[in-house]
Amino acid sequence: MNSSTHTHTTESTSGHQRRKAILVTGAGGELGHALIELLAQRGESNVVAVDIRELHPNIRAHCDNSFVGDICDHSLLERLLAMYEVDEVFHLAALLSTRGEFAPETAHQVNVVGTLNLLKLAAEQARSHGRSVKFIFPSSIAAYGLPSLEEKQRAKSVKEDQYLEPHTMYGINKLAGEHLGRYYQEHYRKLAKDRVIQAIDFRSIRFPGIMSAHTVPAGGTSDYGPEMVHAAAQGRPYACFVRPDSRISFMTMPEAVLALAQLAAAPKKNLTRCVYNVSGFSPTAADFQRCVKKYFPAADISFTPDLGRQSIIDSWPEDIDDSAARRDWDWKPTHTLESAFEQYLVPAIKARYAAHSSEPQL
């Protein structure tokens, strides 16, 4: 445990002091890394991390404590609650869309049962400390399912309540997580006499593909974007697994974690929904290739579409309408595709591989 100071403590039922904490699950994943860095920059010293693997030491150093284990393991969550009073949850742990199609039942277990465990934990925390617990849940464009490529091209930018017939287990799981969150906020234990009203303050964002300069994704289907840039920066050839004309929305990782923090901080009275789209830019895979070649002219990029993964991308919308997020909590993207490459991806990726060429990737 690091030496961060804790001014807030409460007494547990067994009589010892429990410290207030922000719980981050999936802390070792891409979003987890970036969010924990952001929370540390903002002076949050009470982050408690959970991940299935040991955290990278740089991330671990920003946390008050970290627990290695499965979010489906009740004894792990109980151990955590014996030490901490959870005020806010960023539930980031998930098994992504490509991996989920190889193990759909495992995906359901992690993505839905795991989410249910965390919601229940949050509801019990709210009951025990008498305040609602904020529950921040990243959802995904995978929640959408366009029936055909023609319909996708016709629909262009979709609103939160359209086309909610996902084709992947991951998308179905994310949609289930959104509904579970809404249920725990609005209706949980509706018939119980000792019901706590609005124990959970549930807030969710449907993210597009996300590109980080510092980490590489694993097991997703939007991975071709970041993979292409990271391969070029390392001088490795890259065979893109979707057609050049494939188009979905993307954003940069700093924008994604800022969006999470911004939604978490928004006054509840301004929020007209539980789940919000956020969008960045909507390039084709060929646009990515063009940008990568501009900065890494020797990049060797080819296209070898994988029919299965292509069908997933073809079922996700070209763009998502984020007017509700803009209206309710002042969301606006920072980057266009060009500025994302010029101001964030290229400088940060070049610095990363220059500085850490001999280190394993996070």
**Interacting residues toward ligand SER by CB under 6 A:** 96-97, 140, 142, 170, 207, 209, 220-222
Residue number, 170 or 238, with CB nearest to ligand SER:
170
Closest CB to ligand SER belongs to which residue? 220
Smallest separation (angstroms) from ligand SER to the CB of 99: 8
Torsion angle defined by CA atoms of residues 308, 310, 312 and 316, in that order, rounded to the nearest 10 degrees: -170
Smallest separation (angstroms) from ligand SER to the CB of 310: 13
Q: What does each C-alpha distance from 243 to 99, 225, 317, 353 come to in angstroms?
A: 20, 12, 15, 28
Using the 8-state DSSP alphabet, how is residue 334 labeled? -
Residue number, 169 or 258, with CB nearest to ligand SER:
169
Token pair recorded at residue 265: 């901080």
Q: How far apart are CA 209 and CA 256, in angstroms?
A: 10
Residue number, 65 or 221, with CB nearest to ligand SER:
221
Smallest separation (angstroms) from ligand SER to the CB of 40: 24
Residue number, 226 or 349, with CB nearest to ligand SER:
226
**Strands 133-140 vs 84-91: parallel, antiparallel or unpaired:** parallel
Smallest separation (angstroms) from ligand SER to the CB of 207: 6
C-alpha count within 13 angstroms, C-beta hemisphere, residue 27:
33
Residue number, 220 or 280, with CB nearest to ligand SER:
220
Residue number, 140 or 246, with CB nearest to ligand SER:
140
Smallest separation (angstroms) from ligand SER to the CB of 188: 26
Residue number, 201 or 223, with CB nearest to ligand SER:
223
Q: How far apart are CA 131 and CA 55, in angstroms?
A: 30
**8 contacts 74 by C-beta, under 8 angstroms:** no
**250 contacts 209 by C-beta, under 8 angstroms:** yes
Cβ partners under 8 Å of residue 207, min gap 6: 138, 139, 140, 141, 251, 256, 259, 278
Token pair recorded at residue 31: 């979003």
How many residues in total does the chain contain?
A: 362
Residue with tokens 């989410």: 115
Smallest separation (angstroms) from ligand SER to the CB of 226: 9
Smallest separation (angstroms) from ligand SER to the CB of 183: 22
Q: How far apart are CA 143 and CA 316, in angstroms?
A: 8
Residue number, 67 or 207, with CB nearest to ligand SER:
207
Smallest separation (angstroms) from ligand SER to the CB of 61: 27
Full DSSP string of 96-116: -HHHHHHSHHHHHIIIIIHHH
Residue with tokens 């501009």: 294
